[in-house]
Amino acid sequence: MSKFLIVGLGNIGDEYAHTRHNIGFDILDFLAQEHDLKFRPDRLADVAELKYKGKQLILIKPTTYMNLSGKAVNYWMQAEKIAIENCLVLVDELALPFGKIRLGPKGSDGGHNGLKNIQEVLGTTAYPRLRFGISNEFGKGAQVNYVLGKWNDEEQKTLNDRIRIAADAVKAFAFVGLARCMNEFNTK
């Protein structure tokens, strides 16, 4: 059975729950709920396992805080013996319009501290990621409050639909591979 590590980036703690920066956690929570799974506390992360069409997906929500996400990613890749090309990182993206999804095999950290740490720990920018657009509708100097803020009323109207599409993309990544997944979901 092929194994995949699916990493939802976010920060632990109630004050960060359901904020833009925690969209990675929210996508994994949606997948877990959809498949009646429960996360359990484990080393450096909350973990759930999803068996889907002959594939095993290890879902992790790092408990290291965003700036140390690489520590959890590296540990779980080693512990589960998962190759980097079978690791998908779910992350919020300021440079994309709200709800837009972009999958890719590599890329820069774009100033995102979680991606920056993963890159430092793994020593490469070549790992698959799913970027979820949170847009950049904030004034000068307000970026931190914006990304750590809750979704606005307009975003709330379609947020669950966009999260469902992202969750479908995660399953497609494991089942049909990154290239086909990109073709299907980067246009939605």
Known catalytic residues are 21
- Characterize 72-101 residue by residue with b for buried, 16 or more Cβ atoms within 10 angstroms of its Cβ, and e for exposed: bbbbbbeebebeeebbbbbbbbbebebbbb
The candidate with the shortest Cα–Cα distance to 39, out of 23, 25, 53, is: 25
- From residue 5, how far is each of 18, 104, 124 by CA, in Å? 22, 16, 17
2-8 vs 87-93, strand pairing mode: parallel
Do the Cβ atoms of 28 and 8 come closer than 8 Å? yes
